Structure 1
Amino acid sequence: MSEHITIGDVAPRVQYVADGVLAEFTYPFPIFEEADLEIRLDGAVLAGGATIAGAGIAEGGSVVFPEAPAAGTRITLRRRLKIARATDFQANGILRARSLNDELDYQVAAIQQVADDVAGALRIDPSEAGNLILPLRGARANRVLGFDGSGDLAVFDRGTGLLGVPFPGGVPRSVEDKLAERLTARDFGATGDGVTDDGPALAAAMAAAAASGRVLVIGEGTHRTTQPLVLGGGAAGLIMHGSILYAGPDGHAALTLGDGAAVRNASKRYEGLRVIRAVISDWMNEADIGLVMRNLDASFVEIRQVEGFTIGIRTQGVERGFEDTTLMLGRIVNNRIGLDVRTETAAAWNTSVRYYGGHFAIGSAVHTDKDRFGIRLSAAPGAYVAHNRHLFDGPGFELQATGRPISGIPVLCEVNSRSVWVRGMRMESCSAFAARHTAGAQDHVYEVAWASQAYLVSVDYTATATRTGAVVRAYHQSAAFRESSREVGSVPNLRAARIRWSNSESGFDRLACLSSNVSGSPATLADFAFAALDSYGFTDQGVVLTGGRGLGFVVDARNCRDFALAVDADAPRVAVMCFDANRNLLSDGGTPLVRASGQSLVWNAAARWYQGSADMADATLTRPQVVHLEPQVAYAIIGLARIGTDYEVRAMRLGCDPLFAPPLLYGLPGLPHGARELVAETVWDAPSIAAGGSATVSVPLVGARPGDFASAAFSLATSGVVFLAQVGATDVVTVTAWNRTAAAVDLNAGTVRARVVKA
Structure 2
Amino acid sequence: MAEHIRIGDVAPRVHYAADGAQTVFIFPFPIFQVADMEVRVDGRVAASGYAVRGAGASEGGSVVFAKAPHAGSMVALRRRMVIARNSDFQPNGLLRANTLNDDLDRQVAAMQEFRDDTGSMLRANPGEAPTGLVLPDRMARANRVLGFDSLGNATAFTREEGVLRVPQVGAIARTVADKMGEVLSARDFGAMGDGISDDGPALQAAMNAAAGTGKYLLIGEGSFRTTMPLLLPGAAPGMTMRGVILYAGPGGHAALTLGDGAGARNAAELYKGLRVQRATLSDWVDEADIGILLRNLDASNVEIRQVEGFTIGIRTQGVERGFEDSTLQLGRIVDNRIGLDIHCETAAAWNNSIRYIGGHFANSSATHPTKDRFGVRFSCAPGAYPRHNAHLFIGPGFELQRQGTPGTVAAIPFLLEAGDERGIIARGVRMEQCSPFVARHTGGANDCVYEISYVGTYAFTGTAIDYTASATRAGGTVVPLHQAAAAQGAPRLVAAAENVRQRAFRQTIDTSGGIGFEQMAVLSGNPAGPPGNLTGFAFAGLTLFTLNADTVGIPTSRGLAFVVDCSECKEFFIAAEGSELRPVVMQFDAKENVLAEASPALLSNMNTVWAGSPSFCWEGNANLDSLVGGLAINKLQRVTLHANARFAAIGVRGGTAGAVLKALRLYCSPMYAPAVIYGGSRKWGVREYTTSDAGWVVPALAPGASATRDVTLPGVRQGDFVQAAFAKPSGFQNGGVVFHASVGGTDGADQVRVTAQNISGGSIAVDAGTLFLRATKPRI
Same fold (TM over 0.5): yes
- Match status 1:299 vs 2:310: no
Q: Which has the larger radius of gyration?
A: 2
Question: What does 1:413-428 align with in structure 2 at a 5 Å threshold?
Answer: 413-415=416-418, 416-428=420-432
- The answer (yes or no) to whether the contact 1:678–1:701 under 8 Å persists in 2 is yes
Contact 2:581 2:659 in 1 (8 A): yes
Q: Structure 1 residue aligned with 2:756, among 733, 737, 742? A: 737
Question: AA paired with 2:720?
Answer: D
Q: 1:754 aligns with which of 758, 770, 773?
A: 773
Residue aligned with 2:479, SS: strand
Q: CA separation in 2, counterparts of 1:253 and 1:518?
A: 60
Match of 1:726 among 742, 757, 778: 742
Amino acid at match of 1:410: P
1:699 alignment partner, one of 711, 714, 722: 711
Q: Is 1:288 paired with 2:293?
A: no
1:613 equivalent in structure 2: 621
Measured in 1, the distance between the counterparts of 2:178 and 2:312 equals 40
CA distance in 2: counterparts of 1:147 and 1:594, whole angstroms: 78
Question: What does residue 411 of structure 2 align with?
Answer: 408
Counterpart among 529, 532, 543 of residue 541 in structure 2: 532
Alignment length (residue pairs): 672
**SS of structure 1 residue aligned to 2:449:** strand
Q: What is the CA distance between 1:534 and its match in structure 2?
A: 2.0
Mark the CA change 1:168 to 1:384 in structure 2 (over 3 Å): closer, same or farther.
Answer: same
Q: Deviations over 1:320-358 (max 9, x none)?
A: 000000111111111100000111000000001111111
The amino acid that maps onto 1:751 is T
CA offsets per residue over residues 204-233 of structure 1, 9 Å max, x none?
Answer: 110011111111011111111111111100
Preserved contact between residue 246 and residue 276 of structure 1 (Cα < 8 Å): yes
Residues 277-676 of structure 1: matches in 2 within 5 Å? 277-401=278-402, 402-403=404-405, 404-415=407-418, 416-453=420-457, 454=459, 455=461, 457-476=463-482, 478-502=484-508, 504-520=513-529, 522-546=531-555, 548-589=557-598, 592-618=600-626, 623-642=635-654, 645=657, 647-669=659-681, 671-676=682-687
Gaps of 5+ in 1: 15-26, 32-57, 61-82, 92-110
What aligned pairs does 1:148-167 form with structure 2 within 5 A after superposition?
A: 154-167=155-168
Deviation, structure 1 residue 12: 11
Q: 1:11–1:29: 8 Å Cα contact kept in structure 2?
A: no
Q: 2:689 aligns with which of 652, 675, 678?
A: 678
Contact 1:198–1:223, Cα closer than 8 Å, also in 2: yes
Note if contact 2:377-2:416 (Cα within 8 Å) is conserved in structure 1.
yes
Letter in 1 for 2:414: V
- Following superposition, the deviation at residue 702 of structure 1 comes to 2.0
Please state whether the residue corresponding to 2:716 is helix, strand or coil: coil
Contact 2:516-2:542 within 8 A present in 1 as well: yes
Amino acid at match of 1:461: Y
Indicate if the aligned counterparts of 1:299 and 1:324 stay in contact, CA closer than 8 A. Answer: yes
Per the TM alignment, residue 445 of structure 1 is displaced from its structure 2 partner at its CA by: 0.7
Distance 1:751 1:132 in 2: 128
**Farther off after superposition, 137-146 or 649-658:** 137-146
After TM superposition, the structure 1 stretch with the greater mean CA deviation from structure 2, 255-264 or 131-140, is 131-140
Could you say what secondary structure the match of 1:704 adopts? strand
Cα displacement (A) at 1:688: 1.8
Deviation at 1:681, TM superposition (A): 1.6
SS at match of 2:502: coil
Counterpart-to-counterpart distance in 2, 1:510 and 1:363? 54
Deviations 1:296-317 (A, max 9, x none): 1011111111111100001110
Match for residue 244 of structure 1? Answer: 245
Residue 647 (structure 1) shift:
2.4
- 1:123/1:313 Cα in 2 relative to 1: closer, same or farther (>3 Å)? farther
User: How many angstroms does 1:124 deviate by?
Assistant: 3.8
* Distance in 2 (alpha carbons) for counterparts of 1:626 and 1:335: 34
Q: CA deviation at 1:28?
A: 8.8
Corresponding position of 2:62:
none
Letter in 1 for 2:756: A
What amino acid maps onto 2:292 in structure 1? L
CA distance in 2, matches of 1:577, 1:597: 18
Distance of 2:143 and 2:379 partners within structure 1:
57
Displacement of 1:571 in angstroms is 2.4
Read off the aligned partner of 2:528 and give its amino acid letter: S
CA–CA distance in 1 between the matches of 2:171 and 2:604? 66
Structure 1 CA distance for aligned equivalents of residues 591 and 160 of structure 2? 92
What is the TM-score with the length of structure 2 in the denominator?
Answer: 0.80
In terms of mean alpha carbon deviation, does 146-155 or 207-216 score higher? 146-155
C-alpha change, 1:12 and 1:332, in structure 2 (3 Å) is closer
Q: 1:672 to 1:240 in 2, by over 3 A?
A: same
Q: Using the alignment, how far apart are the partners of 1:462 and 1:289 within structure 2? A: 27
Partners of 2:755 and 2:148 in 1: CA distance? 121
Shift of 1:549: 2.0
Kindly report which structure 2 residues correspond to 1:12-411, keeping only aligned pairs within 5 A, or say none: 124=121, 134-137=134-137, 140-141=141-142, 143-146=144-147, 154-401=155-402, 402-403=404-405, 404-411=407-414
What one-letter code is carried by the residue in structure 2 that aligns with 1:652?
L
Question: Contact conserved, 1:213 with 1:236, CA < 8 A, in 2?
Answer: yes
Contact 1:567–1:621 (CA under 8 A) maintained in structure 2: no
Spell out, residue by residue over 1:83-129, the C-alpha distance to the aligned partner (whole angstroms, 9 max, x if none): 999999999xxxxxxxxxxxxxxxxxxx9xx99xx99x996489998
Q: Partner amino acid for 2:438?
A: A
Distance in 1 of aligned mates of 2:482 and 2:499: 38
What CA distance in whole angstroms lies between the structure 2 residues aligned with 1:194 and 1:188? Answer: 16
